Amino acid sequence: MSGVAVVGAGAWGTALANVAADASAAPVTLIGRDAAAMATIAAARENARYLPGAPLNPHVTPTAALDAVAGAEIVLLVTPTQTLRAVAAELAPRLKAGAAVVACAKGVERGANALPPEVLAEALPGVALALLSGPSFADDVVRGLPTAVTLAASDETLAARLAARLATRSFRPYTSTDMTGVALGGAAKNVLAIAAGAAEGRGLGASAVAALIARGFAELARLGAALGARPETLSGLSGLGDLVLTATSPKSRNFALGRALGRGEPAPAKLAEGAATASALVALADAHGVELPISRAVAAVVAGRVSVAEAIEKLLARPLKAEA
Ligand SMILES: NC(=O)C1=CN([C@@H]2O[C@H](COP(=O)(O)OP(=O)(O)OC[C@H]3O[C@@H](n4cnc5c(N)ncnc54)[C@H](OP(=O)(O)O)[C@@H]3O)[C@@H](O)[C@H]2O)C=CC1
Ligand SMILES: O=C(CO)COP(=O)(O)O
């Protein structure tokens, strides 16, 4: 079976390293950028900073040596969206011939307003690319709780091979060839989760959160149609599935950020991809003539241009129209 290297030793990278090691006896390397931190993980057999209490699978080798990717047929790229291009550039000269790179981040790159597949296609020309996304909290996955995700590649044979390599009894990758749709769902849900959290933080109630999820999904569907995404992708695991998970759970860092903003509390220090993605998602939509009222409101709030209260009032003042 194929050796796997995981680049990015955060919560999701660590969880996926355990998944890859649980799925096969082939070697798994977990690559971080801080040598001291990786040595600590190797000694403790636990990533105490990002996944405390989760034993590292004994077949996972932590290291800070990026050259270790050279031994892998499959590279899972699990650093935040805004770092993908730079990290991929570092990977390019080190990759084994024929290796596949799987983007596992969820967002839109600022500046280029590009989804992860586009970023990697530019940074890694000629490399076999795939994308992994879907409703999957790292904490649930590392505890072996049932999780279903989407593994997309333009080549369905590659998607099936990668899914088979990563599948375990509890981690179930469904395959797709719609990389745009899968990437868009993962990016948009993080932004919409901030809105849902803000609504809860303001005490607007479950009905308001449900309305934001439904109308937010309508935004996703409009932008997806403009980008050529398949409707069934957006209504599947990586779209609606991840939106429901992330927009209804305080375990979500994006939801938690929104809730703090809604309560007028300081923003949590944890990564919230939706905050960096919001303006880029709106810019991507604007370039295709698609209006995203909720995502635009989130972008304005996280940029500090308006308060949560002002954003809510603006959304409530919007003219009523046909639902679809
Ligand atoms: N956490 C989750 O439940 C899930 C997360 N995801 C997605 O996975 C991606 C990563 O998220 P997650 O693992 O949670 O984030 P974390 O904040 O837990 O970890 C991010 C990791 O990326 C590393 N990193 C950051 N910048 C760089 C860089 N320039 N070069 C190399 N490494 C870098 C960090 O290194 P350092 O520790 O040295 O700062 C850290 O180890 C996100 O796009 C997220 O949306 C997807 C599904 C589930
Ligand atoms: O992507 C995730 C669940 O699918 C993790 O969500 P957060 O990044 O909001 O914590």
Residue 312 one-letter amino acid: I
- DSSP class of residue 62 equals E
CA distance between the termini of the chain = 47
Measured by CA distance, the residue closest to atom 8 of ligand 1 is: 105
**Ramachandran angles phi, psi of 215, nearest 5°:** -70, -30
Residue 73's CB is within 10 A of a number of other CB atoms, namely 19
Active site residue 96: no
Give the distance (Å) from ligand 2 centre to CA of residue 252: 5
Is 138 assigned to a binding site?
yes
Residue 172's CB is within 10 A of a number of other CB atoms, namely 16
Could you read off the pLDDT tens digit of each residue along the chain, which spans 324 residues? 679 999 999 999 999 999 999 999 889 999 999 999 999 999 999 999 999 999 999 999 999 999 999 999 999 999 999 999 999 999 999 999 999 999 999 999 999 999 999 999 999 999 999 999 999 999 999 999 999 999 999 999 999 999 999 999 999 999 999 999 999 999 999 999 999 999 999 999 999 999 999 999 999 999 999 999 999 999 999 999 999 999 999 999 999 999 999 999 999 999 999 999 999 999 999 999 999 999 999 999 999 999 999 999 999 999 999 998
Is 136 assigned to a binding site?
yes
Contact 258, 282 (CB under 8 A): no
The CB of 259 under 6 Å from ligand 2? The reply is: no
- Report ipTM for this prediction: 0.99
Strand pairing partners for 55? 46
- Select from 57, 247, 234, 236 the least CA-distant residue to 149: 236
The CB of 11 under 6 Å from ligand 1? The reply is: yes
The CB of 273 under 6 Å from ligand 2? The reply is: yes
Ligand number nearest CA of 140 is 1
For residue 102, the SS3 value is: strand
- DSSP class of residue 290 equals -
Ligand number nearest CA of 78 is 1
pTM of the model: 0.98
- Select from 20, 256, 279, 25 the least CA-distant residue to 151: 20
What is the model's pLDDT at position 184? 98
The CB of 252 under 6 Å from ligand 2? The reply is: yes
Q: Distance (Å, rounded) from C-alpha 117 to C-alpha 114?
A: 8
Strand pairing partners for 74? 4, 100
Measured by CA distance, the residue closest to atom 6 of ligand 2 is: 252
Contact 243, 217 (CB under 8 A): yes
Is 98 assigned to a binding site?
no
Query: What number does the ligand 2 atom closest to the CA of 106 have?
Result: 1
Is 242 assigned to a binding site?
yes
Residue 235's CB is within 10 A of a number of other CB atoms, namely 16
The CB of 245 under 6 Å from ligand 2? The reply is: yes
Residue 306's CB is within 10 A of a number of other CB atoms, namely 15
Domains and CATH numbers, the chain: 4-177 (3.40.50.720), 187-316 (1.10.1040.10)
CA 132 to the chain's CA centroid: 8
Contact 176, 149 (CB under 8 A): no
304: exposed, middle or buried (Cβ count in 10 Å: 0-12, 13-18, 19+): exposed
The CB of 38 under 6 Å from ligand 1? The reply is: no
Give the distance (Å) from ligand 2 centre to CA of residue 189: 9
What is the model's pLDDT at position 25? 85
- DSSP class of residue 267 equals P
**Considering Cα of 204, then 207, then 212, then 215, what sign does the dihedral take?**
negative
Query: What number does the ligand 2 atom closest to the CA of 190 have?
Result: 9
Query: What number does the ligand 1 atom closest to the CA of 190 have?
Result: 45
**Spatial CB neighbours of 272, under 8 Å, sequence gap ≥ 6:** 190, 194, 253, 254, 256, 257
- Select from 134, 203, 198 the least CA-distant residue to 171: 134
What is the model's pLDDT at position 1? 64
Give the distance (Å) from ligand 1 centre to CA of residue 321: 40
**Spatial CB neighbours of 283, under 8 Å, sequence gap ≥ 6:** 113
Write down the residue that tokens 């990026």 correspond to.
66
- Select from 131, 61, 120, 132 the least CA-distant residue to 92: 120
Contact 277, 253 (CB under 8 A): no
Give the distance (Å) from ligand 2 centre to CA of residue 82: 16
Give the distance (Å) from ligand 2 centre to CA of residue 255: 9
Q: Distance (Å, rounded) from C-alpha 197 to C-alpha 201?
A: 6
